[in-house]
Amino acid sequence: MGPVARRITTVVVVMVVAGCSATTTTPSSSSVATVSPSPAGSTLSAAANPAPSESLSTAASPASTAAPFPLLVIARRTSRGPVVSFVYDAAQAATDVATLPGDANGSIASMAWSGAGRLALAGQPTATGLGVYAFDRAAGRLALVSAAADPGCTAVGVRSIGWTRATIVFDVTHDPTRGQCVDGLVRVDPATGVRAHVDAPIDAVHWAVSPDGGAIAHDSLVMTLSISDLATGASRVVGGIQHKTDSAWSPDGTRVLYVDPGTGSAQLVTAPRDPSGTPVDLTSAAVGVAGFDHVGWGADANTVFFRSWKRGCQSGCDGFYRLDISAGTLTKIAPLPDLHQEAWNNNFGYVFDWALSPDGTQVAYDLTPAPGRPTEILVVDAIGRSAPITLSAPGEDARFLGWASPGVVAYQTDAGIVLVKADGSGRSVIPVADVTAVALASGSIAHRW
């Protein structure tokens, strides 16, 4: 599925993109919070000068008086260390709000919003190596929550980060030469810094928090999918998984969609969160497709999306599909270039990222149409009533980020972050360089593969 290498609690913001370009300003160092390494759970003062419509005083302010969420958050490298910037509108400048300790080699690898207006970040370096931070938007405070590594270990990476109901969750990779350290999925309390592994140490390449924040679905190196209940600590294996990224929670949080490799051919299955429930095989409803990949849910628990693929297919076999579960109807909403062996080797015709719009009416995705061609960004009606629209400019090599708000798509190019309306109008470019991570306020992030 996202995002999502991980699922974050959704905060929907409705914004209209202005049809003009933004310019980036560089505030003086006195207007940006500079964070020094500090004990877990301690807080550090934020910017002395407020960002546009955003109070960044060190005193906590009521959430009701806080400004709307920024349209997106950008993390980038600078000579003075990793910097976090807020963008409130495509027509305004990106405003720096915090700086992590470090130098030009430091970076923020991953970010995610919580539903309570806090931003989780994984960044390096800190005094103890890679660190996990929390930024409270309303109070204007940035805190070093915990070192990313387990005690006695050295972390070399955090692939993704997110939130449960009240804790930050992330998957950490350790230096294998430094002690008996196990990579795994970790939860940490941002108030105390107390941490614990989820379902014992595991190497979860893909994981997703349920919409209510009470459970996590995750894979493992042995290609199984498990559901862990965070309240009871109970975990169970629900089945084998074809690819270590093919799973997603239903919008109501009751089921997980995934691809089981099966005994002869892949199966599209939903597993219940409730251990007493029964798995449902959707394969028979998807008549005529060659396989399943890049699976995810629609706006409700009755609709799923997936990519159909088959090596060596000669004509018209590949596409992006919508399956209505109750009606048993299958619709190809977007044709894809047939995945011949040459295409497979060169990755063209392959959908790497896609995301459903926050209102559930459209799907945006990226596609490399032919060898040597740049990656394009497209959008299509979620029920297949119209042909896809290409949003990226000709010759522009793009990386899909997700939906910035209903009707507005975000993607990254060498020129910066591009925001464009789903009908192709209102294109704006935020000219930022050395971007290492982006968080979208809408919560509608791309499914990463």
| Statement: residue 286 has pLDDT above 70 | yes
Q: What is the dihedral of CA 150, 152, 189, 159, to 10 degrees?
A: -30
331-366 pLDDT, tens per residue?
Answer: 989 887 765 444 445 555 566 688 999 999 999 998
Is the bond leading into 125 cis (omega within 30 degrees of zero)? yes
At 300, list the tokens.
């409700």
Position 61 scores a pLDDT of 30
At 353, list the tokens.
């990222």
Position 269 scores a pLDDT of 93
- Mean pLDDT of the region 173-183: 83
More confident site: 149 or 2: 149
Residue type, 394: P
Cα separation of the two ends of the chain: 8
Position 14 scores a pLDDT of 26
Could you give the strand order of the β-sheet that contains 224-229, starting from the edge strand earlier in sequence? 207-209, 215-218, 224-229, 235-240
How many residues are given for the chain?
A: 449
Position 203 scores a pLDDT of 61
**Residue 183 to residue 120: CA distance in whole angstroms:** 20
366-424 pLDDT, tens per residue?
Answer: 888 777 788 899 999 999 889 999 999 998 989 988 999 889 999 999 999 999 999 99
Residue type, 350: Y
Q: How far lies 154's CA from each of 39, 128, 366, in Å? A: 18, 8, 35
- Mean pLDDT of the region 41-70: 35
Position 311 scores a pLDDT of 53
Of 8, 86, 5, the closest CA to residue 47 belongs to: 86
- Mean pLDDT of the region 103-123: 88
| Statement: residue 98 has pLDDT above 60 | yes
**Residue 379 to residue 166: CA distance in whole angstroms:** 34
Position 247 scores a pLDDT of 85
Q: Which fold has domain 29-352?
A: Methylamine Dehydrogenase; Chain H (2.130.10)
Of 445, 428, 443, 432, the closest CA to residue 89 belongs to: 428
Question: Which residue is associated with the tokens 């042995």?
Answer: 222
Domains of the chain, by residue range, sit at 29-352
Position 261 scores a pLDDT of 83
